[in-house]
């Protein structure tokens, strides 16, 4: 597996961070913990950290001198600040983080879209977008300031969120394409805000929307879960989404 991932990094033109073998700290929410990728470590409890998640895959390929995998499903920016920053210090070489979707109430908006129809969905999504535009920047500023202060020498890569749906795809059931398009638009808003704040702090932004194109829900090759009986896994990247979507994006940003 390690040789394969190193080859992938070379193909992408990235220098696998064997060039940056110092301590690596993986922060963030469910999109970093590996919610949806399965095979969760029992010690992670409801944080649902998966060995199939991109941080663990990157660490396995690059053997950093230490690896703190503290991302947790459901985490908001304040949760990251309160509970995940203890491993950061002046020797930290790489930090990855995804955060902001939970602050904007994206999970609740998805539940509304699935259960209450198009009109309610559009209202919930617009509320999430308004929050992301008007309130999320200050929350990201607080988080990114803490990361930079605690890990002043680290390379910081902020990972974004993909579009969930292929519009006009293979799904003939579920929510309407109007709702699906609105949900994708919410991802665009959150990614735009996150990218701008990351840039302001000199952090790299890993935009995964391009690499997930044609691998969304309703495509011919899904890298994301739709509604599942394990409800907490719904609308999250599966193992392929991490290994073929998020991991190459991280390699490209190293």
Of these residues, 163, 215, 236, 242, which one is catalytic?
A: 236
63-78 burial, b at 16+ Cβ within 10 Å, e below that, comes to: ebeebbbbbbbebbbe
Catalytic, 50? Answer no
Catalytic, 172? Answer no
Of these residues, 30, 33, 50, 179, which one is catalytic?
A: 30
Query: Which residues form the catalytic set?
Result: 30, 236
């Amino acid at each position: 597996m390690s040789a394969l991932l190193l080859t992938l990094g070379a193909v992408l033109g990235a220098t696998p961070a064997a060039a940056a073998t110092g301590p690596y700290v993986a922060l963030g929410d469910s999109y970093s913990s590996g919610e949806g990728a399965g095979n969760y470590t029992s010690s992670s409890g409801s944080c649902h950290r998966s060995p199939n998640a991109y941080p663990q895959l990157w660490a396995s390929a690059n053997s950093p001198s230490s690896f703190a995998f503290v991302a947790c499903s459901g985490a908001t920016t304040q949760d990251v600040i309160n509970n995940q920053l203890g491993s950061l210090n002046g020797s930290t070489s790489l930090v990855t983080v995804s955060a902001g979707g939970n602050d904007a109430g994206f999970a609740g908006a998805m539940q509304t879209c699935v259960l209450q129809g198009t009109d309610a969905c559009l209202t919930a999504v617009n509320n999430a977008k308004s929050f992301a535009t008007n309130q999320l920047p200050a929350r990201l500023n607080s988080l990114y300031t803490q990361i930079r202060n605690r890990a002043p020498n680290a390379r910081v890569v902020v990972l974004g969120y993909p579009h969930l749906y292929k519009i006009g795809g293979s799904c003939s059931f579920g929510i309407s394409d109007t709702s699906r398009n609105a949900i994708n638009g919410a991802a665009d808003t959150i990614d735009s805000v996150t990218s701008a704040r990351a840039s302001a702090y000199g952090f790299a932004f890993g935009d995964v929307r391009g690499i997930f194109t044609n691998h969304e829900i309703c495509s011919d090759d899904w890298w994301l879960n739709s509604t599942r009986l394990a409800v907490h896994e719904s609308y999250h990247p599966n193992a392929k989404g991490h290994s073929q979507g998020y991991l190459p994006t991280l390699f490209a940003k190293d």
